């Protein structure tokens, strides 16, 4: 009867200790295991415990004197919580002597923060301005028109007169017209000049 009472009391004590460890792991993780490895722990799992350390964090702790594996559950929850991770695999417990047990835990690594968003593309440069349309070779509004008649039977005289007239005005000839006047010895000249200021230089302006 005394032996049964001793076992019962021992189990109750371990149960209370486990409850305290679970509570302490949430509020004070250092109470659970003062020598807990960091997130970058490189400890290797034992042969019988699988934990992919590329995706998870492995941690282990030896407890004693005890042979009660119930301690491993609150320890692993506290260990994973202290590293801001979550339990990935069921905690493992191994008796390593008559007075000690080894707890092994596998915790999911914290997710890496998302990569920063790419900046928006730079705006496209404005299109080049439209080319200036070529100057018209027709007499247009704003051009200076001068006329004259001269005693001549050669239209080349009209051409020379028009070139001289535009040159004196600082412009250039757009159109040069020559027509026979009241006789074959008279020429009527018309000159369209662009880019200069016109001064009417008609010699004999016909109505």
Q: Comparing 201 with 106, which gets the higher pLDDT? A: 106
Name 63's Cβ contacts closer than 8 Å, sequence gap at least 6: 71, 72, 75, 100, 101, 102, 103
Q: Which pLDDT score, from 0 to 100, does residue 40 have?
A: 39
The string of DSSP codes covering 5-29 is HHHHHHHHHHHHHHHHHHHHHHH-H
Predicted confidence at residue 88, as pLDDT, reads 63
Residue 143 is predicted with a pLDDT of 85
Instruction: Take residue 166 and report the two structure tokens written for it.
Output: 């535009």
The pLDDT score that the predictor gives to residue 157 is: 92
Which pLDDT does position 197 carry in this prediction?
A: 63
Most confident of 7-16, 59-68, 82-91, 108-117: 59-68
> Residue 41: its pLDDT value, please?
43
Q: What percent of the chain stands above pLDDT 70?
A: 70
What confidence category does residue 78 fall into, taking pLDDT thresholds of 50, 70 and 90?
confident
pLDDT at 87: 66
pLDDT tens digits, one per residue of 136-183: 678 888 888 889 999 999 999 999 999 998 888 788 888 888 998 888
Over the stretch 86-135, which tens digit does the pLDDT of each residue have?
766 778 899 988 889 999 998 888 777 788 888 888 888 888 887 766 66
Q: What is the mean pLDDT of the chain?
A: 74
* Residue whose tokens read 């019988």: 48
pLDDT for 159? 92
Residue 85 makes CB contacts below 8 A (sequence gap 6+) with 39, 57, 107, 108, 109, 110
Q: Which residue has the higher pLDDT, 104 or 28?
A: 104
What is the distance between the alpha carbons of residues 150 and 183, in angstroms, rounded to a whole number?
Answer: 11
Strands (E), the chain: 56-63, 86-87, 92-95, 101-108, 144-151, 172-180, 186-194
Give the least confident one: 57-61, 143-147, 200-204. 200-204
Mean predicted confidence (pLDDT) in 46-75: 87
Share of the chain above pLDDT 90, in %: 12
Neighbour-count burial for 50-71, b at 16+ CB within 10 Å, e otherwise:
ebeeeebbbbbbebeeeebbbb
Mapping DSSP to helix (H, G, I), strand (E, B) and coil, where does residue 84 land?
A: coil
């Amino acid at each position: 009867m005394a032996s049964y009472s001793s076992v019962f009391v021992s189990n109750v004590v371990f149960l209370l200790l486990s409850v305290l460890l679970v509570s302490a792991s949430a509020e004070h993780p250092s109470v659970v295991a003062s020598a807990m490895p960091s997130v970058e722990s490189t400890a290797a799992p034992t042969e019988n415990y699988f934990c992919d350390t590329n995706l998870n964090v492995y941690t282990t702790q030896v407890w004693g004197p005890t042979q009660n594996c119930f301690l491993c559950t609150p320890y692993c929850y506290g260990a994973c919580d202290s590293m801001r991770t979550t339990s990935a695999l069921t905690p493992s417990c191994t008796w390593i002597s008559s007075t000690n047990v080894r707890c092994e835990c596998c915790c999911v690594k914290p997710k890496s923060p998302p990569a920063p968003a790419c900046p928006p593309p730079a705006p496209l440069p404005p299109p080049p301005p439209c080319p200036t349309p070529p100057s018209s070779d027709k007499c247009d509004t704003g051009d200076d028109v001068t006329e004259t008649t001269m005693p001549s039977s050669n239209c080349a005289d009209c051409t020379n007169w028009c070139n001289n007239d535009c040159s004196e005005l600082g412009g250039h000839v757009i159109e040069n017209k020559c027509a026979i006047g009241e006789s074959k010895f008279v020429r009527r000249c018309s000159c369209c000049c662009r880019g200069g200021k016109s001064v009417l230089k008609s010699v004999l302006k016909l109505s």
